[in-house]
């Protein structure tokens, strides 16, 4: 329905119970899927908290590697809206109000307007997919996300023939997001994909992880997951989706274009100016665990390399 109205502390010890209670009320009707099978791998450490989501495991798009623990995934994050240290999001995001939540859709598409989040989600059955997550700082995780294909929503919103890109904008609210009170980045945070990237079946809009509702520090209530790209492409707390004819200027590319390009495909052959991308450190593997080799497109080359045929990925990084 279109509406027209306006890293040592466990996350469960940080996020107030009333925040989770709000999410339970919000998600109980919107996200529960009758007849679905609950499938979530057991955490190696910590106990997942929050509302359980009904989702079917999609093995076709899941890696066979063991997921990181709940503590790893919820306690070690890049989310500059809540601070630049990896533990800041878990410490500072608990009071973010995630309900009610609306997403505004605009630009080159037929279905525009301001949508209640549950109305964007409801037509799309939820899936659990275990994806690799690779960050530009050369650390990685394996995360069991719950969500639905971005491409399904893109098709539902009916982009016009002029639409070549889709842009995502994160909530800009310094009162709730203390990192936005700094000038670390030019707020609000924006990212974008080409339309064909957004339509690829691997691109996911996530609403949960480990079979539970998405914690605030991981991008609640709605975030993007593009597993063949570096993590900074995955916008969190999305409040706006726009279809554009021209390539949008994105936050990190605007902040430092020599280090962060528009495409952000994981490429071990292209070093970051300040460190190598050839190897990565798996979070949770232990202090003395050897680094592992970085895979082209984060291991998803077979599925996505054809999207970039003829494109020089050294120049278009």
Contact 126, 54 (CB under 8 A): yes
Whether 168 contacts 235, CB under 8 Å: yes
**Which pLDDT belongs to residue 101?**
98
Alpha-carbon span 40 to 152, nearest angstrom: 23
Q: What is the CATH classification number for the domain harbouring 22? A: 3.90.420.10
Predicted local distance difference test score (pLDDT) of residue 286: 87
In a domain, 313, yes or no: no
Is 116 contained in some domain? yes
Decide if 175 is inside a domain: yes
**Residue 221 is assigned to a structural domain of this protein:** yes
Tally of CA atoms within 13 A in the half-sphere of 149 that contains its CB: 14
Three-state DSSP class for residue 296: helix
Answer whether residue 288 is part of any domain. yes
Judge whether 314 lies within some domain: no
- Do strands 212-213 and 204-209 pair parallel, antiparallel, or not at all (unpaired)? antiparallel
CA distances from 216 to 1, 140, 144, 202 (A): 25, 20, 16, 23
Say if 315 falls within a structural domain.
no
Our count of domains for the chain comes to 1
pTM, rounded to two decimals: 0.86
* pLDDT confidence of residue 46: 83
Q: Find the domain containing 114 and state its range.
A: 2-308
How far apart, in whole angstroms, are the C-alpha atoms of residue 36 and residue 126?
Answer: 9
Q: Is 61 among the domain residues?
A: yes
List the chain pLDDT tens, one digit each, 317 residues: 444 443 444 443 343 434 334 444 434 444 433 333 333 344 346 889 999 999 999 999 999 999 999 999 999 999 999 999 999 999 999 999 999 999 999 999 999 999 999 999 999 999 999 999 999 999 999 999 999 999 999 999 999 999 999 999 999 999 999 999 999 999 999 999 999 999 999 999 999 999 999 999 999 999 999 999 999 999 999 999 999 999 999 999 999 999 999 999 999 999 999 999 999 999 999 888 999 999 999 999 999 999 999 999 999 99
What separation in angstroms does the CA of 176 have from each of 92, 216, 295, 316?
Answer: 9, 11, 37, 35
User: What is residue 28's predicted lDDT score, i.e. its pLDDT?
Assistant: 42
10 Å CB burial of residue 121 (0-12, 13-18, 19+) is buried
**Cα–Cα distances in Å, from 88 out to 21, 99, 294?**
23, 22, 27
């Amino acid at each position: 329905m279109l509406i027209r109205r306006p890293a040592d502390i466990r996350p469960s010890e940080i996020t107030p119970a009333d925040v989770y209670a709000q999410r339970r009320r919000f998600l109980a009707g919107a996200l529960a899927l009758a007849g679905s099978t609950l499938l979530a791998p057991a955490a190696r450490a910590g106990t997942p908290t929050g509302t359980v989501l009904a989702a079917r495991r999609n093995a076709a798009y899941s890696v066979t590697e063991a997921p990181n623990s709940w503590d790893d995934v919820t306690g070690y994050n890049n989310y500059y809206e809540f601070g630049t240290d990896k533990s800041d999001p878990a410490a500072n995001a608990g009071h973010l109000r995630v309900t009610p939540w609306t997403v505004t859709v605009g630009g080159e598409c037929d279905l525009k307007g301001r949508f209640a989040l549950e109305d964007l989600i409801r037509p799309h059955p939820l899936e659990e997919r275990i994806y690799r997550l690779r960050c530009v700082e050369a650390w990685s995780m394996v995360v069991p996300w719950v969500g639905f294909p971005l491409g399904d929503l893109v098709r539902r919103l009916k982009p016009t023939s002029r639409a070549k890109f889709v842009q995502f904008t994160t909530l800009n609210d310094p009162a709730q997001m203390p990192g936005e009170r700094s000038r670390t980045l030019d707020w609000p945070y924006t990212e974008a994909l080409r339309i064909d990237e957004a339509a690829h079946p691997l691109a996911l809009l996530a609403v949960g992880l480990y079979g539970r509702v998405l914690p605030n520090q991981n991008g609640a209530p709605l975030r993007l997951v593009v597993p063949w790209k570096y993590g900074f492409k995955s916008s969190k707390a999305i409040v706006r989706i726009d279809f554009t004819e021209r390539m949008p200027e994105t936050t990190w590319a605007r902040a430092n274009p020599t280090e962060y390009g528009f495409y952000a495909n994981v490429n071990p052959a292209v070093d970051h100016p300040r460190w190598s991308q050839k190897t990565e450190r798996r979070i949770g593997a232990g202090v003395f665990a050897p680094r592992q080799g970085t895979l082209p497109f984060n291991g998803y080359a077979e599925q996505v390399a054809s999207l970039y045929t003829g494109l020089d990925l050294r120049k278009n990084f």
